[in-house]
Structure 1
Amino acid sequence: MHSIWQEQIDFPVYPILKRDKKTDILYVGATLEHAVEAHFRKEAGNAVMIIEEKSIADMSELGGIGILRATNMNEFKALCILRNYIIKHHIPCDLEIISETSIQVHPIKLFLFMTKDVEVYEQTKITARQGKRLDIESAYIDAGQVIEDDRPREKRYIHIFSEADFPEITKPDILEIRKYKNNYLVLSYQRELEGSQRYWEI
């Protein structure tokens, strides 16, 4: 099921990589975090690429609930840089500042803005590796640095509740709540929550 973020969004046509490429930094996985980092690394003069094995427009997990939070000093510095960059460049991503350490964004709008000058390939899967040479069946990628999000993740679900019918929900059913337009978005490990209009998996 598509996420609320994918509604009325026109994705670019991402190519499938079919020829050999070289890059300074390769990001494996079309995530919001990779998009932001790739954008800044490209601005710093690096050659960067993002590859994703799925069709990006169909990724309901892209962006999650759209809350970016800093939990340590390095993350706080990175969040401040991003927040100020969004404001300075008037990035249309529905920015809301929750606190010094937390912001809300429309994650796909931010992803699309941050990747518009970055090489992004979809339906491109690594099948073998020889050091920093990656085999994608139809071609090879030679990367100076490979960055992957290989953290194990439990299945989580984002539920949509209307503002008028939003029930009282308490932990441990919920991990995060945010208001978006006339809805509440609730992040939970639970696939079923009473009163939920619909959900998508991340």
Structure 2
Amino acid sequence: MHSIWQEQMEFPVYPILKRDKKTDILYVGATLKHAIEANFQKEMGRSVMIIEEKSIGDMPELGGMGILKATNMNEFKELCILKNYIIRQHIPCDLEIISETSIQVHPVKLFLFMTKDVEVYEQTKITARQGKRLDIESAYIDAGQVIEDDKPCEKRYIHVFSEAGFPEITKPDILEIRKYKEDYLVLSYQRKLEGSRNSWEI
């Protein structure tokens, strides 16, 4: 199942990496966090790359809930920088400022904007490592730094409810709720929630 964020979105054609590359920073996994970091690192003059083993346009997990939060002072500074950057650059990502420590965005729109000047490769999987040299079967990547995605241990699901049909949900079933257009998005450990119009795993 595709996510609500992928509806009516056109993704660029991302190449498969087939030749040796060298980069200052390699991000493993096409996540919103990696896209944001890669964009800022590139603006500081570093060479950056993102590789993803899946087809990016088909990844329902890309972006998750689109809620970005700061839980400590460092994250608060980063969130302020991002928020001001989105406003200054007029990034069309449906920014909503919830509080000083939380914003909502359309995660796919923000991902696409932040990666427009970044080298992104899909269907590119690391098969072996030797120090900072990574083997991707068809080629090698020499990276000064490798940053990988921290995936949560448990599977989580985003469920879509219409405003009219939004049910009473017990607290243990939900991790987060956000309103998006005429829908409610509910993050849960539960694969099925009664009344959910559709859902996807993140």
CA–CA distance in structure 1, aligned partners of residues 15 and 9 of structure 2: 18
Q: Deviations over 1:65-108 (max 9, x none)?
A: 10000001111000000000000110000000000000000000
- Residue 194 of structure 1, CA deviation: 1.0
Given the alignment of the two structures, is residue 187 of structure 1 paired with residue 195 of structure 2, yes or no? no
Given the alignment of the two structures, is residue 133 of structure 1 paired with residue 137 of structure 2, yes or no? no
Q: TM-score, normalised by structure 1?
A: 0.99
Map 1:85-100 to 2 at 5 A: 85-100=85-100
What SS does the aligned partner of 1:112 have? helix
CA–CA distance in structure 2, aligned partners of residues 177 and 99 of structure 1: 15
What SS does the aligned partner of 1:87 have? helix
What SS does the aligned partner of 1:113 have? helix
Q: TM-score, normalised by structure 2?
A: 0.99
What SS does the aligned partner of 2:84 have? helix
Q: Deviations over 1:173-192 (max 9, x none)?
A: 00000000000000000111
Partner of 1:105: 105
- Residue 31 of structure 1, CA deviation: 0.3
Letter in 1 for 2:19: R
What SS does the aligned partner of 2:194 have? coil
Partner of 2:173: 173
- Structure 1 unmatched ranges of 5 or more: none
Runs of 4+ displaced beyond 2 Å: 150-153
Q: Deviations over 1:3-44 (max 9, x none)?
A: 000000000000000000000000000000000000000000
Given the alignment of the two structures, is residue 39 of structure 1 paired with residue 48 of structure 2, yes or no? no
The percent identity for this pair of structures is 86
Partner of 1:82: 82
CA–CA distance in structure 1, aligned partners of residues 110 and 117 of structure 2: 13
Partner of 1:18: 18
Partner of 1:157: 157
CA–CA distance in structure 2, aligned partners of residues 28 and 109 of structure 1: 20
Partner of 1:200: 200
Letter in 1 for 2:29: G
- Residue 154 of structure 1, CA deviation: 1.0
Letter in 2 for 1:59: M
CA–CA distance in structure 1, aligned partners of residues 173 and 150 of structure 2: 26
- Structure 2 unmatched ranges of 5 or more: none
Bigger drift between 16-25 and 192-201 goes to 192-201
Partner of 2:120: 120
- Residue 165 of structure 1, CA deviation: 1.1
